[in-house]
A and B are shown apart, each in its own frame.
Chain A
Amino acid sequence: MSEFRMPSLGADMEAGTLVEWLKKPGDQVAPGDVVAVVETQKGAIEIEIFEGGIVERLIAKVGETLPVGSPLAIIAGSQPSSVAQAAHSAPEGQAERPAPPPVAAVTETAATAQRGIRASPAARKLAAEHHVDLEALTGSGPEGAIVYVDVENWLHAAARQPASPPGTSPPVRRERAAMRGAIGATMARAKREIPHYYLQHTFEFDRALDWLARTNAALGPDRRLVPGALLVKALALACRQFADFNGYWRDGHFEASRAVNVGTAISIPGGGLVAPAIMEADRLELPAVMERLRDLVNRVRVGRYRGSELTGATVTLSSLGERGVEGLWPIINPPQVAIVGAGTPVERPWIRDGRVVPAVTLMLTLAADHRVSDGHRGARFLAAIAAKLQEPERL
């Protein structure tokens, strides 16, 4: 028996509000299953469980705001399926034996929590040998004790995890209103707490688009680059030079991040948006950036992204893509300190070398945190991004 607790979905997260339970008592859960939707400062996030078992009891109620680490549910140990089924098909006389009263089970849990983890000597030894934290496991042994096979299964699952396809979690069932509420809460906090300043810069985007067209001509449809990939990479490279736009505002001061993890705002079909990160985008080649971007977009569209993907961004890009609007003034996603907006490239009359010429232009905007930087720095940062987009072949 173990407690499923409010996870930390980012270093700044202190509490989360339970928006929806996706599992109910009696449901079987496996590691990686999405069991609940929690509203945090970063949006309504599906939270995964990392142990298997059966949901015995839901502790947290929908609407409750609970600190990180609070127990949300009790997960009871699962049985090997053959045994569980056999127990089910036991003669009626046995099956009708009164189950131990739930009160006793609760008392037992409390007592167990006080005494420490109930785990067999064999399980403890195996866990110690492999540095497995027993806290993370669910027991299947007598009285929910963690037994040898539980540790063994955990080790197998851990060994399998990196290879498992991202689409194995069940499709999202999302409460739209809750999502909207979460976005609202985060944005309200950002507007309330962060002294935003805004800059705007419009520049020729022809070169980048021409280069993309030439590059894509040689690529299959599944590998073609989109302008968004250029923007991610250009922003990431600029962040290396301008460290005061990449990091977190925490505990009253700015912490620059060595890694540049570019959150990319992606709207969810039907409403809402998320900004999962492309980790260390500054170190990725363009095709790799494109691959990550495509993967994220696909998964967000089918609702198969994880809470863990939403925690890593150090700076965010919000791109309107082809929606036909020239510019946007984004709101910083706390605890980040900057967000770059990109409008739709627009063809317009442009003066080049003293002559009016047709040109495709892009408007980039920057919203940045005045506690960390000022407009002068911001302007140089924005100009640096634009400059990088003038030399797409170097991205």
Chain B
Amino acid sequence: MSEPGQQPTNGTATYRDAVRAGIRDALIRDPRCFLMGEDVGRYGGCYAVSKGLLDEFGPERIRDTPLSESGFVGAGIGAALGGMRPIVEVMTVNFSLLCLDQILNNAATIRHMSGGQFSIPVVIRMASGAGRQLAAQHSHSLEVWYAHIPGIRVLAPATLEDAQGMLWTAIVDPDPVVIFENVMLYNMTGSLPVEVRPVDIGRAAIRRSGTDLSIVTYGGSLWKCLAAAEALAEAGIDAEVIDLRTLRPLDDETIMASVRRTRRALLVDEGWRSGSLAAEIMARIVEQCFWSLDAPLARVCSEEVPIPYPKHLEDAALPQVPAIVEAARRTMGAK
């Protein structure tokens, strides 16, 4: 990593390529799969994820939709109910609020309300996160709102391998899966496995082993945390970095095992602080690891403002490497 907070640039493929490869693999593997969303066809996707897929798979399977999230997500749920394996793209999590009713009241409940007679194997992908100066209606991180809902699974791939491999695992899941793709990751480069492999979505991953404190994060913040961990290492603090990968259900076992080892935890979450996923994980740590703790739990979250448009204010509103380093040092009692 050349600069703090920079993602790897050592490969030829991008995260965007990885997501596309995952979709392509699913479309090839299973004729019941199709992609649906705003501008996914002729435009190639708002973030160019589906570029070229219309030519390869045709308009039946790469379907442009009207600007009507409730409508097309509902259609996706219906298609899943009817035996299809739809991949529905929502342009950004902010817009997903228009289809939250479909996701919460239909997708998440139908198995329960039908006494297990129906399942909804839909996959809903959406972009989240700030950093591209897209202002307050396109930049938020509302992952925790979805992670709150029983009946769905919520994924946040932070690496190329996960971006590619999680999709197939999500498709074979008989229940609804929401996948969050952080907008700052699309240009991250790395190497892509030649063969698409489904990945396990049950476990969090320890992306860096350490003994002094556990930094727990997900999505776009992972790379900031890894950069912070390197900076901390220079100060003699050996941080462990955990990538949650799956935000619901949370992998308590991996988190708690790490915190019991390090006795300290720092949560880094691009969501707003109040009611954040960080808050939920802190609560669980206190519930399960209280007697192992050596310091107050700490978190670095986004400032509680609508994400600003100006670059310097947008940067200031988000978790950044220096703030993560500072919080870690406080947790360690370092002056």
Contacts and interface: CB of A to CB of B under 8 A. Distances in A.
Interface of A: 77, 79-80, 82-87, 90, 120-125, 140-145, 147-149
B4 to A, nearest CB: 13
Contact of B294 (A83, A84, A123): A123
Interface stretch (B128-136, B233-241, B275-283): B233-241
Contact of B235 (A77, A86, A122, A140): A86
B237 A120 contact: no
A125 B290 CA distance: 10
Nearest to A146: B294
B94 interface: no
B7 interface: no
Interface in B305-335: 329-335
A97 to B, nearest CB: 10
A122 B263 contact: yes
B335 A87 contact: yes
Contacts of A82: 236
A124 B292 CA distance: 9
A87 B292 contact: no
B292 A142 contact: no
A375 B296 CA distance: 69
Contacts of A141: 294-295, 332-333
B284 to A, nearest CB: 15
Contact of B236 (A77, A83, A140, A142): A83
26 contacts: A77-B333, A79-B334, A79-B335, A82-B236, A83-B237, A83-B332, A86-B235, A86-B236, A87-B235, A87-B329, A120-B263, A120-B293, A120-B294, A121-B290, A121-B294, A122-B291, A123-B294, A124-B291, A125-B292, A140-B333, A141-B332, A142-B295, A142-B331, A147-B263, A147-B295, A148-B263
Tell me if B's interface is mostly helix, strand, loop or mixed: loop
A147 B263 CA distance: 9
Interface in B188-239: 234-237
A268 B332 CA distance: 47
Contact of A87 (B290, B293, B334): B334
Given A80-B236, A122-B291, A142-B330, 20 more contacts: A79-B335, A83-B235, A83-B237, A83-B334, A87-B329, A120-B293, A120-B294, A121-B290, A121-B293, A124-B291, A140-B333, A141-B333, A142-B295, A143-B333, A144-B333, A147-B263, A147-B294, A147-B295, A147-B333, A148-B294
A148 B292 CA distance: 9
Nearest to B260: A122
Contacts of A148: 263, 294
Contacts of A77: 333
Contact of B295 (A85, A87, A145): A145
A329 to B, nearest CB: 59
A141 B332 CA distance: 6
A145 B291 CA distance: 15
Given A77-B333, A141-B333, A147-B333, A86 B294 contact: no
B296 A142 contact: yes
Q: Is chain A's binding surface mostly helix, strand, loop or mixed?
A: helix
Nearest to A142: B333
B44 to A, nearest CB: 44
Contacts of B295: 120, 141-142, 145, 147
Given A79-B334, A142-B331, A86 B234 contact: yes
A289 to B, nearest CB: 49
Nearest to B331: A142
Contacts of A123: 294
Interface in B37-92: none
A125 B234 contact: no
Nearest to A120: B294
Contacts of A142: 295-296, 330-333
A4 to B, nearest CB: 20
Q: Which residue, of B290, B331, B333, B335, has the highest number of chain A Cβ atoms within 10 A?
A: B333
Task: Name, among A80, A85, A123, A140, the residue most crowded by chain B CB atoms within 10 Å (CB to CB).
Answer: A80
Contacts of A87: 235, 329, 334-335
B239 to A, nearest CB: 13
A80 B333 CA distance: 10
Nearest to B325: A94
A79 B294 CA distance: 14
Contacts of A144: 333
Contacts of B291: 121-122, 124-125
A120 B264 CA distance: 10
B237 to A, nearest CB: 7
Which among B292, B329, B331, B335 has the highest number of chain A CB atoms within 10 Å?
B335
Contacts of A85: 236
Nearest to B329: A87
Contacts of B329: 87
A149 to B, nearest CB: 8
A134 to B, nearest CB: 14
A145 B335 CA distance: 13
A122 B293 contact: yes
Interface-central residue, A143, A147, A149, by most chain B CB under 10 Å: A147
Lowest 7 A-B CB distances belong to which pairs? A82-B236, A86-B235, A147-B294, A141-B333, A120-B294, A142-B333, A83-B236
